[in-house]
Chains A and B, each alone.
Chain A
Amino acid sequence: MNALAWLSKLRQGATRGWVDLPGAEHEGPLLDGPFLKRLEHLTLTVGRHGTNGFAGEHPSPRKASSVEFADYRDYRPGDDFRLIDWNVYARLGELTLRLTEATESTTLHLLLDCSGSMAWGIPSKFRLMQRLAAALGCVALARYDNVAVGVLRDAKAQILPRLRGKNDTGRLLSVIDDLRPSGTVDLAAAAASYCGAPRKGVAVLISDLLAPTGTRETVAALRRAGLTPTVLQVLAREESAPTLEGPFDLVDCETGAVLTTAINGEALRAYGERFDSWTREMEAACASQRASFIRVFTDQPIDELLFGVLRGQVVR
Chain B
Amino acid sequence: MISFSQPQALFGLVVLPILLLFYMWRARHSRQVISSIWLWQEAVARFSHRPTRRLPLRDPLLLLQLLAALLLVLFLAGPRAGHTNPVHQIVVLDDSVAMAATDLAPSRFAQAKQRVQSLIDHLGDGDHLSLILAGPRARLLGQAPSAGDPLAALRALPPPNGPADLVGAAALARGLAETPSLGPPRVTFIAANETPALPVGNLSVTTVRLGHTLDDQSISDLSVACSPHGGTCEAFARLHNADALPQADALAAWADGQSLGQQPLTLPARGSLDLSFVVPSATGVVRAALTRPDALPENNAASALAPNPPSLRALLVSDTPGPLLRALQGVPGLSVRVVSIEAYQDTDAVGPDLIVMDGIAPVDLLTVPLLAVNPPANNVLVNVRSPNVFLPMTLPDPTDPLVSGLDLDGLPTVGEAIDTPAWASADVDGPKGPLVVHGSQSGERMVILPWEPSTGAFSQDVSFPLLIERLVRWLAPVPAATISAGTPLWLPTTVQSVRSPTGAILTGPLIEPQASGLYLVADATGSLTTGAPLFAVPPASPGEVAPASVETPPWAPLIAAAGLPRALWPWALLAALIALSGEWVYYARKT
Contacts and interface: CB of A to CB of B under 8 A. Distances in A.
Interface of A: 7-11, 13-15, 18, 20, 117, 120-121, 125, 208, 210-212, 236, 239, 244-254, 257-262, 264, 266-267, 270-271, 273-275, 278
B37 A250 contact: yes
Given A14-B59, A14-B60, A261 B27 contact: no
B51 A262 contact: yes
B30 A259 contact: no
B33 A20 contact: yes
A15 B60 CA distance: 11
A273 B29 CA distance: 27
Nearest to B48: A262
Contact of B49 (A10, A15, A18, A262): A262
B30 A11 contact: yes
18 contacts: A8-B26, A10-B587, A11-B26, A18-B32, A120-B34, A121-B35, A208-B35, A211-B38, A212-B38, A212-B42, A246-B27, A249-B31, A252-B35, A262-B54, A267-B47, A270-B47, A275-B39, A278-B39
Given A246-B56, A252-B34, 8 more contacts: A13-B591, A14-B59, A208-B35, A210-B36, A244-B32, A250-B32, A270-B44, A270-B46
Contact of A266 (B28, B29, B47): B47
Nearest to B41: A259
B31 A254 contact: no
Nearest to A249: B31
B35 A236 contact: yes
A8 B31 CA distance: 10
A193 to B, nearest CB: 22
A10 B44 contact: no
Nearest to A121: B35
Contacts of A251: 31-34, 37
B52 interface: yes
Nearest to A262: B52
A10 B62 CA distance: 10
Nearest to B38: A212
A117 B32 contact: no
Which of B30, B34, B46, B56 has its CB near the most chain A CB atoms (within 10 A)?
B34
A267 B49 contact: yes
Which of A117, A120, A210, A247 has its CB near the most chain B CB atoms (within 10 A)?
A247
A250 B43 CA distance: 13
B50 to A, nearest CB: 7
Interface of B: 26-44, 46-47, 49-54, 56, 58-61, 587, 590-591
B57 to A, nearest CB: 10
Contact of A250 (B40, B54, B60): B40
Contacts of A252: 34-38
Contacts of A259: 37, 40-41, 44
A122 B53 CA distance: 29
Closest 6 CB pairs of A and B: A13-B590, A210-B36, A120-B35, A261-B49, A247-B51, A271-B43
Which of A14, A117, A210, A273 has its CB near the most chain B CB atoms (within 10 A)?
A14
Contacts of B42: 212, 274
A210 B51 contact: no
Contacts of A270: 43-44, 46-47
Nearest to B29: A249
B34 to A, nearest CB: 5
Given A259-B40, A266-B47, A239 B590 contact: no
A250 to B, nearest CB: 5
Contacts of B36: 117, 208, 210-211, 252-254
Contact of A267 (B32, B37, B43, B54): B43
B31 A10 contact: no
B35 A210 contact: yes
A258 B418 CA distance: 116
B590 A10 contact: yes
A273 B43 contact: yes
A7 B53 CA distance: 19
Contacts of B29: 249
B462 to A, nearest CB: 90
B383 to A, nearest CB: 93
B50 A13 contact: no
A248 B31 contact: yes
B53 A257 contact: no
A250 B40 CA distance: 9
A10 B61 contact: yes
Nearest to B60: A14
B160 to A, nearest CB: 48
Contacts of B59: 14
A261 B44 CA distance: 8
B43 A247 contact: no
Contacts of A211: 36, 38
Contacts of A20: 33
Contacts of A236: 35
A228 B364 CA distance: 144
A248 B27 CA distance: 7
Contact of A247 (B53, B58, B587): B53
Which of A211, A250, A251, A275 has its CB near the most chain B CB atoms (within 10 A)?
A250
Nearest to B54: A246
Contacts of A258: 37
Contacts of A246: 27, 30, 54, 56
B30 A210 contact: no
Contacts of B587: 10, 13
A20 B74 CA distance: 40
Given A248-B31, A253-B33, A7 B26 contact: yes
Contacts of B30: 11, 246-249
Contacts of B49: 260-262, 267
A41 B27 CA distance: 52
